[in-house]
Every structure is written in C-alpha cells, then in structure tokens.
Amino acid sequence: MNPWLSSLSPAATTQVPLLRPTWPLTEGRPGIIARLPSPAKRPVATHGNSRVDLEGALRSLEDCSPAGRQGPGNRALYNSLISVCVSERALLEGERLRTHLARVGYEPDVFLENQFINLYAKCGEVGRARELFDGMRERNVVSWNAMIAGYCLNGCFREAALLFATMIETGGEVLNQATYLSTLRASVGHGDLKHGQQLHARLVKVGFHSQLEVGNSLINMYAKLGRPREAEKLFEGITERDAVSWNSAIAASAKNGQCDRALVLFVEMNKEGFMPDEFTFATLLASEDITTVTELHAWLVKHGVEDNIYTGCALLDAYARSGSPHEARLVFNRMPDRNTIAWNSIIAACMEHDMVKEGLQLLMEMRQTGVLPDAYTISSLLGAAIAMESSNSSGKQVHGLAAKLGLTAEASVGNMLIAMYSQQGLVSESLRSFQDTADTDLISWNSMAQACVDNEKYEEALVMFLQMKHSGFEPDKFSFVSALVACASLAWKQTGRVVHGNIAKSGMELDAFTGSALVDMYAKCMAVEEARKVFDAIQHRDLITWNSMLVGSAQNGCLDQALELLNVMREDGFEPDNFTFSGVLSGCADASALQTGRQVHALIAKSDITTDTVVGNALITMYMRSGCTSEASQVFSKLKMRDTASWTAMIGGYAQSGCSREALELFEQMTKSGGKPSGRTFTALLTACSYAGMVHEAEKYFNDMETEYGIGRDLEHYACMVDVLGRAARLAEAEAVIHRMPCEPNALVWRTLLSACKIHGDLARGRRAMERILAMEPEDSAAYVLLSNMYAAVGKWDGVVEVRRLMRENGVRKEPGKSWIEVQNRVHEFVAGDSSHPQKDQIYSALRGLLGEMKAAGYVPAAEE
C-alpha cells in the first residue's frame, strides 16, 4: 500500500464524507492579531489598463447578447473577474459569473476552474470545491494544490492529507513547493507527527528542504507537534535566515515550555539585525511564566514600544494568564489609545480572576468612553457567570445587554447563553437562545445537545443530534459523545450501535475520549462483550477508558474480568482512583459479591485513598448489601469526612438488615453532629420503621420532613408510608394516604398497597389497586401474579383462573424468578424454570434437597394452583 495512505486510518483508502471544521466546545481567546479588523475594500477588476467595478462588469456581461463572447479578450476579462471574486471572497458574484459562463456556452479552462475551487474553499464551501475538482476533465498541479489548500483553510486536515496521498498514487503531476507547504499544514492541523516526518523525508529526497520557506514550515510543524529539538536542529541548519525563521524558532521554544531558550533566541535575533515584530512579542508573551513576561516587559519599556496597541494588548493578556491581573490593569491604564480589543482583554482578565465588580465597572467605563461592547465582551462576561455559577439575575443582566446591543444572534454569544442556562437547569431558555442564534455553527449544536444531556433530557439530545445532521453539519467527537451518553442513559443499545456506525463511517480515529463513551454505552446496555471489543481496539487508553471498561464489567456481574483488568491496568502504569474503586464496589454490591468486595477492599487499604469519602460510602453499601453490618460500621467509623451519603448508606443498610433501632439511633447522631439529611435519608428511615412496625415513629419522620427539614415528599416517600401502614394491617389508612397525595400516584405506590392486601387477604381493596396499576402499566405481570396469589391463598380458584385468563388475553407473561450466587469471583445467574444449563439435573436435584430440608424445618409453601 502507498505509505501516504498507510499512515492514515484504515478508512483513508476510501472516499469519506467531507467534514466541516471541528472545534472544541469552548473556544479560547483569539490571538491579538486575529482580532484586529481588516480594512474594507471595494472590489474592482483590472482589464487592460482600466479598473472596472465588479458589480458593473457583471451587470454589463449579463445585459449583453451572447454573440462573440469567446474571444481572447473575454478570456482575460473572465480571468480578471474571477481573481477579484477570489481575493474579496465574493461568492455571490462568483456564482453569477459561473452562471453567465454556462449560459453563453463558454468552456472554462484549467486556470478558471482552479480559481473557482479557490473561491469556494475561501468562502467555506469546501464540498462544492471538491465537486468541481472531481468533475474537472483536465487538472494540473495548481488544481491539486488549490484543493489541498482549500481543505486546510476549512480545517479538513485529514481530507487534505488523504488527497495528497491520492495525488502521489496517481503520479500524474510533479509536486511543487506549494504542494508540500499545504500538506505540512495538514500534518500540523491533524496532529499527525508520523505523516509530517514522512513529508520531511520526502522533501529531503527531492531537495526542497533547503528552500527557506519550506525550512520555516518544517520548524513550525515540529514546534506545534511538540518536537522542539527537531525544530531547533532545523533552525541551526538554515544558513540564510529571515525574520520568519527566527520567529518560528522562538515559537518552537516558547510553545514547548523552554522560556529561557526563547529569550536567548530573542536576544540573538536582535544581534543579527532582525527587528522583532508583533508576532515575535505575541509568541514570547504567550508564556505563562511571570519571569519571562516581566523581563520582556522591561525590554519593551526600554525600547519605547510598550505603548504600541499590539504589544500592549499582548502584554496585558500575558499578565492576566500568568495570574497577575493587577499588573495587567497597570498596563491597560498606561495605554494611550484603547480599542475594543484592549477593553475586552482587561474585562476578560478581571472576570477570569473573580474580580467581577472591577470587570463590570470597566464595562461601564468602556461604554462611557464611546467604545461599544462586542460579541467577545459579552462572551467574556457570560463565561465568568458560568465559571462562578452566578445567580440567574447576573447572567440575565448580561443577556439583556447583549439583546440591547443586538448581539444575541452572534454564534459566540448564543453558545455561551446555551451553556449558562443549561448550568442553571433552564433547558427551555437554552433552546430559545439556540433558536435566536442567526448563524448556528457546530459548537452551537454541540452545546445544545450537551445542555440536554446535562439536564437528563436524553431523548431530546438525540433529536438534536439528528437535526444537526439533517442541517448539513458533520458531527465531531463532541457530537458523538453527547449522543452516546444519551444512549447509555436510556439503555438504547440499537441506537447506540447506529451512532457507533456513524463514527466508523466518518473515518474518525477511535481515541480515548470517543472510545470511553462507546465502552460506557455498551456496558450500560449490558453488552459487555461489545464494550470489550471497543476497549481492545483503542490504541491509546487513558484512566477514563480503563475505568469505563472496569466498572462496566463489575456492574454487569463480570467480576473476574474486572479484577483481571484492575491488575492489567496497574501493569500499564495507571493507578486506580476513587472512581475506579467505587465503581467496582458498586458492582459487587449489586451482585452481593462479598468475596470480591473484600479483595477490592484489600487493594484500597494498600492505596492512598483509604479514607476517601466516595470510596468509603461504596464500601459501606457493599458490606451492608451483603449483611455485614459490623464491617460496614468499621469503615464508617474510620471515615475522616462523612457526608450525607455516608450517613444514609449506614441508615439504609441497617434498615435492610432488620436493625431498625440502630438505624433510628444513627439518625439522631447524624442530626446532633450537624449532618443534613436528604430525601434518601428519610426513605431509609421510613423503611426501617416499616420493617419494625414502628407506625408512630414513621408518621413523625414523615411529618418532620417538611416541617423540620424543609424536604419535599416524593412518590417514594408516600410508597414507604403506605408500606408502613399496610404492614400494620391499617389498609384503609394506607389507601387514604394515596388519595391525599398532592401528585398523581404511580404504579409503585399502588403496587405497595396491593402487596399489603395480599398479606392481609383484602381482596376487594387489592382488586382496586390492581385496576389502578394496570391502567398505568397494562403489561405489569407482578400485579397479576400478586392478585392471583391472593385468590389462591383464600382458596378462590375461580379468581385465579380469571386472572390467568386476563393475562393470556392481554399477552402478559410472568417474569421468571432470578437469583445470583458468587463462586470464585464470578457471579452466576439462575432463572426459575430454566432448562438450558448443562448441569440442570444436578441443580434441580440440589434444589429439591434444599426444599425438603426447609419443609422439615417447618417451612410451609404458599398455596398453589
């Protein structure tokens, strides 16, 4: 295979869908130079010795008759017009020219088609550029270069590298310097060091490496891909250096943390007679090292260039980044001319350092001096509101200012508003901000989908994902991860597989970020084998990837695999953290796998997180679920920091183990020590009262929730209260509690009453409860079975037959009973009536023996049909 193709992903050998530029969910501050406005120009075209207005020229062409338009004079005019369209990015005018050419039957030559490719690429229409490129009957090296450069311009770096590989494979054109320069940019943008090194080798082979511009680009590539030594070696090999060479070398050192070396190069640059420019200062001042910043500041003051607007803003930003906002303010105060960029920089500096009052004061001063805030100003203010989790009012005030200035339609502002309202749980406001954004970009869609996920609107997140694709946006890794999280939360395996297929089709590499989300999705959909396949395919794993696979295995009962992964993980240099241990312990708790849980506890004891609250809570839950109250109590007593979850885990564990008195006493200790109970704490308390028949105590806790602790009652609390009264045979009161509920009771509440009716043989009330359950969940087999057993218990077999008939007519099947046991770190599941197990005969023989021993001990089974 061609080495240029093999250096890409396996999917690179086929044509892949064109990708739009992919950006992170939160954009960083743009560079100083990039933020400066460009002067406006009026498009003109040169034809002969005259300058022709582009609009006028196009109108004249469209108004003239088609005759005689294919001579050399018109060719020159067409070439001139398209050149102006390209330089001014005048897409609309270019389209008019192309329509005119088609109408008059003019056959564009290679030059003209190449220019149209340039036009489409510069105007962000890279897909149309590729369509034109693919349809060309004749191409030259400029055609290939234009398309490769167009991909790079639009952030489609992988596609640029792919096209370069195809260009080499076809062998029809001799590659020139421009080809290599664009492809080097693709290597940088794609972060592909191997591809860049292959290009370097080829440049040496063809002799282009000695060209100054190529050498500078190679230095830049190695600098941006984290190889400062290679960059410095190349710099030392350049005999005739220019300012770009020096700036590239300085950038290589500065961007890779070698601030001292960057300053040495800066001094040498001056000695060689090269004057530093704005790029030099911006590069050096990008350092977060305060010593470097202050030394450079001293040089700027000495040479009288501190007041320059470019260097002043760069210096201001540098002090802000290095944690010195007051020095940044001094620089700002000394600036004679302050433009919008300067005001934005100082306001952002204040906001980033929690100096909100100063930032808002500067905003007022900015407006008083006649400088209007722009989208970046508003984004900084909203970003600060998000970072500090400000109240609704402050964020809304900024939103109001943005609306007054007409900036809410800007994508950068809209994206920040989406994030802010999402943080406050106001998804509807996020959606309104999204809809108000005039030109939504990929970040807008990703932000909105993430807002839905963060607020547990998982189905809506998937709808956003689909709408984004239908709107012509190609998902990036952030889009895919949001969709996968939604699928995992809904346990929608088939939809998750579709998303997985989209990832594969996009040609996107399976990195740790996307791979971890896939592993988590399959694990939460109980598809551990598929999760393991994805995990094994990820080449560069991080701690999150390991945790996803390890916790997923544990929580699906594959405890032997979880322990094996835990060992391999440590061999690979990753130490388990509190999430690792708490996740595995959660799996042990769900499966009541005491033996494995104790092994994990032993590993925790050897680590540095023995007293971590999250891990301690997981240990308490695991021991309590296994009935080991004393061991849970020991863990609880050793916790240095106990949170509400710690107390609740202990109280709930005591309740489930039948130690109701201990549960209530522990609650008293909790309140006396300043602990704040939650809704879950009261669920545990009411459960303890229910098991012990403490009706009076339960009623007190039920009332105290709202009156003493300000905690609202939910459906689970009402179900507990119904259970308390039901177990005490106070069924009328239990039903009355349901009817007094401020919200509509769900099936759980009525099912609790039905269970109590079965225990006490209240057929009429049980029948009413069943009717309520089936109105909400018509396929609930448990309700049918409970009522059937009630009839059987009192010998009303006709009632049993009627219930069974209703089940058949409604297509309801009884869910078979299941049980789990742990043997040698593996959890085995047994299903009632199963005949597929290879050792079924021995299993049923052992079961019959146990049942005989139970009957001999006095056990009386329930009445059966």
CATH number for the domain harbouring residue 472: 1.25.40
Report helix, strand and coil shares of the chain as percent, to nearest 5.
70, 0, 30
Q: Give a three-class secondary structure readout of 105-149.
A: CCCCCHHHHHHHHHHHHHCCCHHHHHHHHHCCCCCCHHHHHHHHH
684 membership: H or E segment, kind and range: helix 679-692
DSSP, residue by residue, 779-838: T-HHHHHHHHHHHHHTT-HHHHHHHHHHHHHTT--PPPPEEEEEETTEEEEEETT---ST
What is the largest distance, in Å, between two alpha-carbon atoms of the chain? 115
* Cα separation, 345 vs 460, whole angstroms: 37
**Whether residues 733 and 848 fall in one domain:** yes
pLDDT of residue 43: 41
* Cα separation, 146 vs 138, whole angstroms: 14
* Cα separation, 238 vs 214, whole angstroms: 11
Cα three-residue angle 105-106-112, rounded to 5 degrees: 145
Q: How many domains does the chain have?
A: 4
Instruction: Pick the last residue of a domain from 703, 737, 752.
Output: 703
CB 262 within 8 A of CB 250: yes
**Whether residues 736 and 853 fall in one domain:** yes
Would you say residue 316 lies in a domain? no
Using one digit for the tens of pLDDT, what is the confidence trace for 777-819?
877 777 778 778 888 877 788 878 887 888 787 776 666 666 6
**Residues counted in the chain:** 865
CB 587 within 8 A of CB 556: yes
Would you say residue 48 lies in a domain? no
For residue 458, CA distances in Å to 116, 454, 480, 487, 503 come to 43, 9, 13, 7, 19
Would you say residue 310 lies in a domain? no
**Whether residues 720 and 745 fall in one domain:** yes
Q: Which of 574, 569, 571, 517 is nearest to 548 (CA)?
A: 517
Residue with tokens 């489930």: 656
* Cα separation, 717 vs 719, whole angstroms: 5
Q: Assign residue 778 the CATH number of its domain.
A: 1.25.40.10
CB 417 within 8 A of CB 430: yes
**Whether residues 734 and 833 fall in one domain:** yes
**Whether residues 606 and 718 fall in one domain:** no
Would you say residue 145 lies in a domain? no
Q: Which of 656, 626, 846, 862 is nearest to 759 (CA)?
A: 862
Would you say residue 468 lies in a domain? yes
**Whether residues 494 and 479 fall in one domain:** yes
Would you say residue 532 lies in a domain? yes
Would you say residue 773 lies in a domain? yes
**Whether residues 618 and 637 fall in one domain:** yes
**Whether residues 730 and 788 fall in one domain:** yes
The radius of gyration of the chain's CA atoms, rounded to the nearest angstrom, is: 35
CB 462 within 8 A of CB 487: yes
Task: Name the packing angle between helices 110-122 and 72-88 (round to 10°).
Answer: 20
**Whether residues 620 and 698 fall in one domain:** no
From first CA to last CA, the distance across the chain in angstroms is 72
pLDDT of residue 618: 93
* Cα separation, 44 vs 51, whole angstroms: 6
Q: Say how many C-beta atoms besides its own lie within 10 A of residue 281's C-beta.
A: 24
Would you say residue 34 lies in a domain? no
Beta carbons within 8 Å of 823's beta carbon, 6+ residues apart: none
**Whether residues 523 and 489 fall in one domain:** yes
Low-confidence ranges of the chain (pLDDT < 70): 1-56, 60-73, 172-173, 287-288, 307, 388-393, 610-611, 812-837, 859-865
What's the domain range around 607?
552-641
Beta bridge mates, 821: 828
CB 628 within 8 A of CB 657: no
pLDDT of residue 56: 67
Q: Which of 657, 650, 651, 655 is nearest to 636 (CA)?
A: 650
Enter the tokens of residue 814. Answer: 């009884």
**Whether residues 861 and 800 fall in one domain:** yes
Beta carbons within 8 Å of 670's beta carbon, 6+ residues apart: 647, 651, 677, 681
Instruction: Pick the last residue of a domain from 494, 512, 540.
Output: 540
* Cα separation, 114 vs 425, whole angstroms: 50
Instruction: Pick the last residue of a domain from 684, 703, 722.
Output: 703
Residue with tokens 């749980």: 425
Task: Report the amino acid identity of residue 577.
Answer: D
Task: Report the amino acid identity of residue 248.
Answer: S
* Cα separation, 761 vs 780, whole angstroms: 21
**Whether residues 652 and 760 fall in one domain:** no
Q: 826-831 and 44-47: which strand pairing? A: unpaired
* Cα separation, 607 vs 45, whole angstroms: 73
Enter the tokens of residue 510. Answer: 């399976």
